[in-house]
Chains A and B, each alone.
Chain A
Amino acid sequence: MSAKQKIMAKLRKSLTGTKPVADNFDVELVTQPYTYTAEQRIPQLRKLMEAVHTEIHLTSGEGWPELLAQLLRDRQLPSLLIAPTTSHGQRVAQHWAKNPDLPTLKSYDRPIEEWKAELFNDTPASLTGTLGAIAATGSLIIWPTREEPRMMSLAPPVHFALLKASEIRDNFYQVQQEFEWAQGMPTNALLVSGPSKTADIEQVLAYGAHGPKDLVVLILEDQ
């Protein structure tokens, strides 16, 4: 018998004559205390994300590329990794084309194996979109895609994320339902609630453990 068969046989024997526990999932309990009005969502998200050192800027669908450029200059970042085929990647490229002297744009357009060292050692910042956010926990929802691969929001020390205000949801349960996640998940889905951190030494909180040291969220209020 295989290990699986042996384990299964033991488990099934132990359940002989028993009935499964009824599913009494209490939706109210995980949604009702975590429901917000449209006016509450941004402040709620902001409160939680800023509490864990996320930098948040309110901007608009029109003005964000300029703000992004300004933030890059303020931080003296030499380059920015973008996803050139996404609509926000194109917006960045357009803005950059009109404004010479901005930090260099890099594209994540080839398999990681072809430029791993550069991604790890010479890519100081990235910009990605988000699928929205969760007000209850202060989390961005990120589904890496071919255009915006997993490492984009992980390897560069500074991660800029775009968030449309209309896509801020109330709670995780609502997000699962609205996106119908149970019917199909991508290869990798993430909730990101701040820059990387650790309290493993004496419980002293330190930021920038292994992931981004800075998470900068640009909220597009009019979108």
Chain B
Amino acid sequence: MSAAEIIPTVAVEEDFRTRAHEALGDTQLRGNFRKAMDSLMTKRAASFSDAHEREHLRALGNTVRARALSKLPDLLEQLEQNLTRNGVKVHWAETVDEANGIVLSIIRAHEGRQVIKGKSMVSEEMEMNHVLADQGIECLESDMGEYIVQLDHEKPSHIIMPAIHKNAGQVASLFHDKLGVEYTKDVDQLIQIGRRVLRQKFFEADIGVSGVNFAVAETGTLLLVENEGNGRMTTTVPPVHIAVTGIEKVVENLRDVVPLLSLLTRSALGIPITTYVNMISGPRKEHELDGPQEVHLVLLDNGRSQAFADSELRQTLNCIRCGACMNHCPVYTRIGGHAYGEVYPGPIGKIITPHMVGLAKVPDHPSASSLCGACGEVCPVKIPIPALLRRLREENVKAPDSTDQVMRGQGSKYSRKERFIWNAWAKLNSSPTLYRLFGFFATRLRTLTPSNVGPWTQNHSAPKPAARSLHDMAREHLAKQGDR
């Protein structure tokens, strides 16, 4: 595969509303998602059969993450010290450009041409495949799902199951077209094709790039979970391993990963544990016979410190990336991951993306929710996602002259007209005199109300005030009772 071929993404055209609308009309896509999400919800529920244990474990998961965040700077220092002592080189990046610069300089120092990548959402934030391809460096995904979407020049549509929007037939056609293999819809055969192609790539790769699930400050350990073995291959075979992760992924103690690991795999896939739990504490030691000669960790901020600055929004950073909020979201299930147009889709995407790209770039994200509450109920670390969505809606309409600067792009949906209407509405409902006057006229002038009120009347009949107000009728009713 040449560098030109591996540019991994199609440009995301149009805005969120248009994309969502298109997705809603795609019956194949909706069918694929419905089936997958139903199955993931069932599996999760079965793996948490004891509701009492589940709720206590969620509470523990929440405090473990909250504790880590409450001492985040100290834990990051401790993590760096311990990793450095173990021989791991730690790098810091405020922006994705800085992070890509670091990765590129490591690759160049080793004259690397081929990079194999384990699954990493942070590398998606960095658009690493694209950046490296521009420099003539092949960066190939090795997670089966990620490999499939990269081969089709797409982006992942789910953080755990990147190719969940495709069915076996679509993968069969893709492999047939791109790899020149015989068309087969047999999933076992398709996976064996992927195995064969990627084994050779693991063999050839100069550099392995992975994410991190938990970084343990106490021991200086990078913990990765996976089922396929591509994560182990990526972090073991190439001579250099670069791990990229967000600054929030640190936990204080090794024991803290016990509840988090259990919550992660059960919430994500409904399994007690993944096939592999890979704990890396350093590069190959002098006497060892394999493993990377160098291990690097890139710690990326990319807007996380902005979320961290506000004690309510900070809870966003509790996330352990299980994807359960997506699996249970009625909006995500219907429109799929691509409609969101950003790296993280679904409920967690709606609360984390505004910190990464600015609220102004994703103004409709906070309102693309029915606030049904399912995401908050299933979150293994109890992020109050619905409350955070409401908070972002407030930030979205904050006046531009507000001195309270919470986040980049805040106030992008501010409208003087809307603000005036809400202020008037508040006044009307808090002043008895005004309210009575309003009731008097609204009932008498009811025939004059418009029959077309914008988007509302697309799907609903227009609201008409009743001929008499409830207050009126209640007064009359009470007066009659008094007559008896």
Contacts and interface: CB of A to CB of B under 8 A. Distances in A.
B275 A196 contact: yes
Given A8-B73, A111-B289, A29 B275 contact: no
B360 interface: no
Interface string B181-206: 00000011011101100110011000
A151 interface: yes
Contacts of A111: 289-290
A86 B447 CA distance: 92
A111 to B, nearest CB: 5
Interface string A190-211: 1111111111111110111111
Q: Is the interface of A mostly helix, strand, loop or mixed?
A: loop
B290 A149 contact: yes
Given A188-B279, A201-B187, A204-B187, A210 B195 contact: yes
Interface string A27-50: 001100100000000000000100
Contacts of B399: none
A20 B71 contact: yes
A149 B237 CA distance: 12
B449 interface: no
Count chain A CB atoms within 10 A of each CB in B258, B291, B309 and give the residue with the most. B258
A182 interface: yes
A21 B308 contact: no
Given A139-B277, A149-B289, A201-B163, A154 B256 contact: no
B258 A30 contact: yes
Nearest to A23: B67
Interface in B1-44: 32, 35-36, 39-40
A185 B277 CA distance: 14
B254 interface: yes
Contact of B191 (A3, A187, A208): A208
Interface string B284-300: 11011111000000010
Contact of B278 (A11, A13, A190): A190
A57 B274 CA distance: 22
A21 B227 contact: no
A14 B73 CA distance: 10
Contact of A201 (B57, B67, B190): B190
B281 interface: yes
Q: What class of interface size applies to chain A in its complex with B?
A: 35 or more
A183 B67 CA distance: 21
B229 A210 contact: yes
A26 interface: yes
B280 interface: yes
A58 interface: no
B126 interface: no
Contacts of B285: 187
Contact of B288 (A4, A12, A149, A185): A149
A196 B227 contact: yes
Interface string B224-266: 0001111011001100000000010000111110110110000
B301 interface: yes
Interface stretch (A73-81, A97-105, A112-120): A112-120
A93 B145 CA distance: 41
A82 to B, nearest CB: 14
A152 to B, nearest CB: 9
Count chain A CB atoms within 10 A of each CB in B203, B279, B287 and give the residue with the most. B279
B154 to A, nearest CB: 14
A200 B195 CA distance: 13
A209 B92 contact: no
B284 A187 contact: yes
A193 B203 CA distance: 25
B142 interface: yes
Contacts of A138: 272-273
Nearest to B221: A185
Interface string A145-178: 1100111001000000000000000011100100
Given A211-B229, A211-B233, A182 B254 contact: yes
Contacts of A2: 92
A211 B226 CA distance: 11
Given A136-B272, A198-B144, A211-B275, A30 B161 contact: no
Contacts of A12: 73
B70 A21 contact: yes
B259 A29 contact: yes
A112 B279 contact: no
B106 interface: no
Nearest to A27: B255
Contacts of B289: 108-112, 146, 149
Nearest to A186: B281
B92 A182 contact: no
A3 B273 contact: no
Contact of A187 (B166, B273, B281): B281
Contact of B227 (A33, A171, A197, A201): A197
B92 to A, nearest CB: 4
Given A25-B255, A138-B273, A4 B187 contact: no
Given A150-B291, A196-B229, A210-B142, A15 B63 contact: no
Nearest to B236: A150
Nearest to A4: B92
A145 B289 CA distance: 9
Nearest to B223: A189
Contact of B256 (A10, A21, A25): A25
B98 interface: yes
27 contacts: A2-B92, A3-B92, A7-B92, A7-B299, A7-B305, A11-B73, A11-B305, A14-B309, A20-B71, A29-B56, A112-B289, A120-B202, A137-B273, A139-B273, A149-B288, A154-B236, A182-B219, A187-B284, A189-B279, A191-B277, A192-B276, A196-B227, A198-B227, A202-B32, A203-B164, A207-B188, A209-B191
- A-B CB proximity, top 10 nearest: A211-B229, A200-B145, A209-B228, A210-B229, A4-B92, A191-B277, A137-B273, A196-B229, A112-B290, A200-B144
Given A112-B237, A200-B145, 12 more contacts: A3-B93, A8-B73, A11-B305, A11-B308, A20-B71, A29-B56, A112-B289, A144-B291, A151-B290, A154-B232, A181-B254, A204-B187
Interface of A: 2-4, 6-8, 10-15, 18-26, 29-30, 33, 48, 52, 108-112, 116-117, 120, 136-139, 144-146, 149-151, 154, 171-173, 176, 181-182, 184-204, 206-212
